[in-house]
A and B are shown apart, each in its own frame.
Chain A
Amino acid sequence: MIPTDALDRLLQKADVISNACKSAGVEQWDIIGMQSYNEGVEIEAGKISLAGGGGDGGFGIRVVDKGRFGFAHLVDVQNVSSAIELAKKIANISPQIQGFDLPSFESTKKVDGMFDKSIVATSSEDLLQNADDILAHVASKNEHAIVTGGGIEVSTTASCLISSSGIEESGESTINSIGVQLSIDKDTFSSSYDHQSSRVKLDNIPHCVDNALYWAEMTQNPIKHNLSAEEAKVIFTPSAFSSLFKYIVPNSVIGERVARNISVWSNQMGKQVIDPHLTITNHGRLEGGLASSSRDDEGVPTQILPLIKQGVLMNTLWSVRDAAEMVQEGKVESAQTTGSAFRSSYQSPPATSCSEMILETTKKQHSRAELLDIINTGYIIQDVMGAHTANPTSGDFSVTSSTILRVENGEIVGPLSQAGISGNLISALQSNVELGNEISVRGRFHLTDVALQSHIKINPA
């Protein structure tokens, strides 16, 4: 899939750009280079609908001159001079931030588990066979189930970061992703979606396939009820919880947002902000993590940072520029990078973001059956629609689910056809939270079943 000399070619081109920066008299610069290769198959209506592959790549140049920065990106290094001039021009009109200098080199260890040779060795035939195996597996488990959408993808990315301050980092990483949307059209129509991504090769039939099937089966034949809208105890599966968590919690621990007074946790440093048994860690160095790396996208070594320890806000996330800017504006007395600068692609300058985020408890963790006993009466929710409409500033949300089960006396009674779910996630995390005992990795979030017993309202259709 990836040419054997892909990384060498990327580094050679990056060298051309760095030489051009030096020739142009740029004071400070960093260059990010990425070249990705991918192959995939798509499934539609119970069959493989297409197979494809390709590549995408380029370079981003950030120039810094006396605390002002400019950025430009390019694909063809023949255009390097104009890209550098463009970046310099933008730097000239950007605000000056005292103390904003690109980071110096600091040694750090590599993070393991980012590359899997077996992903690189995966052929198109392998992917097609994998897709057929998934289709056959679903058909063998339930003759009425059909995979209506989804697919399998493998990708390899060669990347490099070099800077005027001596940072030179490069490497290759891999990802294997599988997603399935399946439906059952038997007595009633039901459907469910689940997916998994990993730095290492996934099982041929990964857990997400059976999980999607389980929820499509469980939500057949909605119960008749006369339930009304009320505050309720709810178990969110990792899928449902991560949907809301990712839009609200990472946003609340960005240092710049906390400093600007636009986080729900502004002015809360050192104070208890969630249930005292809960800990949230930003783990930049987790082996095989999708958002792990030895250095962040400014070249700063990543770290393991407790953000909330036993309910108390301990740290927030910073990049180099954010830290300098907030000190200059007097929003904070001091701040320094936590190695939390990320770029969505080579086309973007760095911005502060979380790495792998892990929610843990010091209390006993429970099986799902035990959680059902704990809430006794309420709901269990697998997926929500509209999580992206949650208010990331306040933590308020109002979403909908069609994969929601009613629980009475610790037992699942049956599915609702649809229900509205509203509340405030930050408030709901402040007390009576119970965690499950099986960790599920949802993108960069490591979460279990989460039972929330207050501040959640269910509005059954």
Chain B
Amino acid sequence: MVISSEHNGRADFSNRYLDSRKIAKAIDLAIDEGAQYAEARLVALTETDIKMKDGQIESAVPGQQVGLTLRVLVDGSWGIHSTTDFHQIHEQVPSTVKLAKAVANRRASNVPPIDLAEVPIYQDEVHWQTKKDVRTTELDEKLGYMREFTSSVHHHSIQSVKCGWMDEHIHTELVTSEGMDRVWSFQRTLMHATLEGRSGTNVMSYRTRVGGEGGVEIIEKADLDALATKAEKSTVRLLNASSAPSGKMPLVADPDLTGVYIHEALGHPCEADLVAAGDSCLDGKLGQKIGSDIVTVVDDPTLRGGYGAFPIDDEGLNTREKLLIKNGVLTEYLNHRETAYHFGIEPNAGARAQDGLHHPMVRMSNTIIQGGTHKDLDDLLADIQFGVYACGSRGGQVDTGRGSFQFSAQESWLIENGELTTPLKDVSVSGMTLEILNNVDGLTKDATIASPGFCGKGQTVPVGDGGPLMRIKEALVG
């Protein structure tokens, strides 16, 4: 085991929630009770959640949540205790160790015990700085941005503009029996809006988001008027849009939808906990060609500004870029220490927990398909006789075991003879991971992180997805 010590940002361990002496005693107690590994991870979220409807505040909820999860590995099995009453955590140590022992006692002889891959040990603090701290920015300023967006919407068909604001300062402390003692913090800011329009009996909604890792400066530098105007135009267009054609056809996706596609179709099946559970279509495919030559995909939590960025994963590892696919070849799974040990591979800092009351799982961060060689949208459309251009995401879902996925666009256009023609509504795309990655036959040059999003896998975490404009030569459109 490599031991190292680094200091980044504040060198002192001030402003801690955990009493170092008490928590060390709790960790020691776990080891004395028979644990091979023990950790206490505390997360304090200082947040603001604002809802505004048609320019009027619906609710503004500032608050703080503090949660702590004690995780012990005993005889190759996990026991966990999560609580908001973190001052009394030492009282829960014996029962949590006992729980893990009970799990271990039931493990079948043919099931290998859980163990953790070795990692560098750090005692340090890492604090990502922001230009405009969410904690010290006045509520009035945040309301001002929301009103600016709302006041940019004028069209008579728009019946309602709901605008929301979510910001959070995430402060994490991790103390482990291996000597890891890290404190890190960063911030996220998000503004989102839903426009609802009506024309006769036809009602449609359109949502838009702007945000990322960082403070209020993210919204300050956004062109909210342009964002609102685009959302307004899209809502009005959707009121008169046609239903989508059904069948297999070429599809061109904007960076928003490209991001969701790569998140659902590839990212989830790449999660090593699902692979280990036998619930991924990519099981046994490392080193194999699973996509076309132009497909290169990374998951990168170090991309500052992306909504899925974070400095240190929830097992205390420094984050780094993960190269999932290089030129169509599957090169790396996303993993955490348990799955890294299971597969005998290097840990790559893919552990994330929703908050202090949840345990870490293998999760994505900022997942991006790299740019290609096509010049622009016209270049991608040029040789399509009949297809669909789909933009903006309503979300997606995947069945990782079967390798089937689905994602939905906010608005789309028919492509006829290389031109965008009829606006379409409610376009969804589905397919099989191992087929459709081979069907990617066009990517424009510039890849960007698109709108911020959220990923659910029992726990919800913020993610950033993106890419360039992407062409799939044959997709099942519905």
Contacts and interface: CB of A to CB of B under 8 A. Distances in A.
6 cross-chain pairs, A with B, having the tightest CB-CB distances, nearest first? A420-B478, A52-B80, A229-B246, A54-B82, A398-B428, A389-B408
Given A55-B83, A95-B57, A389 B62 contact: no
Nearest to B400: A191
A74 B46 CA distance: 12
A73 B85 CA distance: 16
A41 B106 CA distance: 12
Interface stretch (A10-18, A164-172, A181-189, A439-447): A181-189
B430 interface: yes
B99 interface: yes
B478 A132 contact: no
Nearest to A44: B277
A6 B160 CA distance: 43
B159 A94 contact: no
Contacts of A348: 61
A430 interface: no
A190 B428 contact: no
A3 B96 CA distance: 17
Contacts, number: 235
A237 B281 CA distance: 26
B34 interface: no
Interface stretch (B197-205, B311-319, B378-386): B197-205
21 contacts: A45-B277, A48-B107, A51-B80, A51-B103, A53-B99, A54-B69, A54-B83, A55-B82, A73-B63, A93-B57, A124-B102, A149-B277, A262-B160, A264-B203, A266-B198, A348-B61, A385-B430, A391-B394, A421-B478, A457-B478, A461-B432
A394 interface: yes
A386 B428 contact: yes
B82 A400 contact: no
B418 interface: no
A414 interface: no
A75 B66 contact: yes
Interface of A: 41, 44-58, 69-75, 86, 89-90, 93-95, 124-125, 128, 132, 146, 148-149, 181, 183, 185, 189-191, 228-229, 260-264, 266, 347-349, 385-386, 388-389, 391-394, 396-400, 402, 417-418, 420-422, 457, 459, 461
A52 B82 contact: yes
Interface in B350-378: 357, 359
B137 to A, nearest CB: 15
Given A389-B396, A417-B404, 6 more contacts: A49-B78, A124-B99, A149-B277, A228-B247, A398-B426, A402-B399
Contacts of A190: 402
Given A47-B111, A398-B427, A132 B78 contact: no
Nearest to A460: B476
Given A399-B428, A400-B406, A262 B196 contact: yes
A402 B433 CA distance: 13
B288 interface: no
A347 B63 contact: yes
A146 B428 contact: no
Contacts of A74: 63
Contact of B198 (A56, A262, A457): A262
Given A183-B278, A398-B408, A422-B478, A72 B247 contact: no
Contacts of A55: 82-85
Contacts of B357: 54, 56
